[in-house]
Structure 1
Amino acid sequence: MTAGAVTALRHGAAAKMAKVSEMYDVTWEDMRDKMRKWREENYRNSEQIVDVGEELINEYASKLGDDIWIIYEQVMIAALDCSRDDLALFCLQELRRQFPGSHRVKRLTGMRFEAMERYDDAIQLYDRILQEDSTNTAARKRKIAIRKAQGKNLEAIRELNEYLEQFVGDQEAWHELAELYINEHDYAKAAFCLEELMMTNPHNHLYCQQYAEVKYTQGGLENLELSRKYFAQALKLNNRNMRALFGLYMSASHIASNPKASAKMKKDNMKYASWAANQINRAYQFAGRSKKETKYSLKAVEDMFGDSANHSVLAWHRDLI
């Protein structure tokens, strides 16, 4: 289909539905500014981007100046999310005419191949980009995304490790690698990745929480102690992190019932579990739930343990409810 045919098709479709500018009584400048805001804040509201962007492209392309090119790119990516290949192809063709040979445009071509599940074509294209520019991080990341889409996690892990040898400061890549290791149940390596993230982001409560979850999953008294400490750190950084609060309760409860724990350790962790249970109770009450519902919630936590050895911990905090 030619670009002209695509344009005609899309003009016809647009004519059948109300325009965004008419529905919301906004100017083209308002729509342009909204698109810029979505770009700058990394919104992934693809349907809205397609609705607003398509009207800008169809009706106001001549007024947008150089902004038209970044809008073409923005709309194309959103169109791929929405399975609008006609619109994606139109935007891609316009970008190719303006920027022939651009690696950025080639990457967009590869993303269209991915959307069409032409993974081999996409990988070949990314490999050509990397032959011309070995430092092109976007092409490397797209290759890794393809491995994940194909369910080839081990290949994705291998390529991510190779990538991090060159770009060790890429925090997003470290987190992605941690997630892949978790999916493969390689918790020791996942913990290492999260430790790298916590070194550079010591105030990120989510990294502390996820690290605590990994150590909790690994099990063993030493790992449970680390888990409890990092759940507590996550709470210190964000006292509204309910997942960390439940994690603190569960890790402390398990330590208190561990036969290898010392008497002092058991006593201390019974107190930690009691405190966490009290905070959970307060949170439920603050949310407007009844005490009866709160008891059911804590009973659900108790049932998750399935261990009569935890009854001493549970008895400790029942009077708090």
Structure 2
Amino acid sequence: MSLLHPPSHLTPAQALSLSQSAPAVLRSLPSTVGKSSLQAVASPVESPEIWISYENLLISCLRTGDLESARECVRRLVERFGDSNDRVMALQGLVREAEAEDDKKSLEAVLKSYDDILAKDGTNVPIHKRRIALLHSMDRISDAVAGLVALLDFSPTDAEAWAELADVYLEQGLYAQAVYTLEEVLVLTPNAWNMHARLGEVALMAASTGSGGSDSATQKYAAESLKRFCRSIELCDDYLRGFYGLKLATSFVLKNASKWSKQNKSISPEDFALPDTETVQRLAQLATKKLSEIVRRYTAKETHWTGYDEAEIAAARELLAGDEAAIVR
């Protein structure tokens, strides 16, 4: 597997395999790069890929508990970029967090180090994000939200921070706030099909739980969910998560359409209205057909159809089996 592949996308098995090969990988990568013109003559050729490899290897090692290899990666990054580099500082903090494990006192010490850095440079975005992640892991949710709001105050175009804020709101059941923050993500990344699907999921949760407090609010969330799932599959033809969500959303609408009024007049004209029942049924059929195709081709191990996550395929198979069981009854 490539060390240039984003480590967050690796499965636990892939991360373990990469971590186990860390000693050999570290031997194969240059440990130093000349900083002066004379040193550069005798040093290995430097490329951005080398340092991306170190960072990705570091994260995989931390996932599997190989702190020794992670420390070596950080040492080499510090040697090359210095310990005042924003990103290197954040990676050093990440290693300290891993070393602290569940020791609250040690984690508080790491948190204080982040506060000290931000007191000197409040615009250090990587340290802001490490601090927020640490607060979140320590269940200090209100502090994490405050940190995200502060970060977005001076960096309002940070889509990652908006997405993290949406996740924090969602954990607390604040669906309206989560929808709003995900809309901000899409303002910045309008063609991100995964974020359209994520907004569709949150809107469907809001509709399913009746968090709007009225039929008109529920219809509005249901319509938004349909809209976002449709947009996600428009942007990515074979996006399993988009079709899975579309099937759930259409099932929800068809189940509840009979008890809803045609279209509540309190819904403003700029809001997306629910399609008619026939259109929703056609969307449901499309979602079922495409999910069946994806599952069938993945199971047959056809070329270009094996890149799906096994857990998502299993969920799609279970959803389709539920339909078949309902038809048999």
Could you say which TM-score interval applies, normalised by the shorter chain? 0.5 to 0.7
TM-score by length of 2: 0.66
**What stretches of structure 1 of length at least 5 have no aligned partner?**
1-33, 303-317
The counterpart of 2:132, out of the listed 134, 139, 144, is 144
SS in 2 for 1:89: helix
In proportion to residue count, which structure has more helix? Answer: 1
In angstroms, what is the RMSD of aligned CA positions?
Answer: 3.6
Q: TM-score, normalised by structure 1?
A: 0.67
Q: Which residue of 2 aligns with 1:261?
A: 262
Distance 1:218 1:183, change over 3 A: same
- Residue 297 (structure 1) aligns with: 322
Write the distance in 2 (CA, Å) between the matches of 1:217 and 1:189.
13
Partner of 1:197: 185
- Matches of 2:252 and 2:146, distance apart in 1: 33
- Rate the CA distance shift 1:268–1:187 in 2: closer, same or farther, 3 A: closer
Q: Distance in 2 between matches of 1:234 and 1:79?
A: 34
Query: Is 1:54 equivalent to 2:79 in the alignment?
Result: no
Cα 1:276–1:51 change in 2 (3 A) is: same
Percent identity between the two aligned chains: 22
Aligned residues, how many?
261
Q: Take 2:274 and 2:58, find their aligned partners in 1: how far apart are those partners?
A: 60
Greater relative contact order (CA < 8 Å, ≥ 6 in sequence): 2
Instruction: Show the counterpart of 1:82.
Output: 64
1:172 and 2:170 correspond: no
Query: What secondary structure is seen at the aligned counterpart in 2 of 1:185?
Result: coil
Q: Structure 1 pair 239/270, CA: closer, same or farther in 2 (3 Å)?
A: farther
Question: Are positions 1:272 and 2:279 aligned together?
Answer: yes
Distance 1:140 1:283 in 2: 42
Residues 216-266 of structure 1: per-residue CA shift (max 9 Å, x gap): 332322322333333333333334332232134124314522332259xx9
Q: Distance in 2 between matches of 1:139 and 1:46?
A: 24
> 1:180 corresponds to which letter in structure 2?
V
For residues 161 and 204 of structure 1, the distance between their equivalents in structure 2, rounded to whole angstroms, comes to 23
Whichever of the two has the greater Rg, that structure is 1
- 2:305 corresponds to which residue? none
**Change in 2 beyond 3 A, CA 1:281/1:100:** closer
Which of 223, 226, 229 aligns to 1:225? It is 223
Q: Name the residue aligned to 1:234.
A: 232
Secondary structure, aligned partner of 1:260: coil
Shift of 1:119: 1.3
One-letter code of the match for 2:227? Answer: K
> Unpaired segments of 5 or more residues in structure 2?
9-13, 34-42, 208-217, 265-272, 298-317
Separation of aligned partners in 2, 1:152 and 1:188: 21
The answer to whether the 8 Å contact 2:197/2:228 transfers is: yes
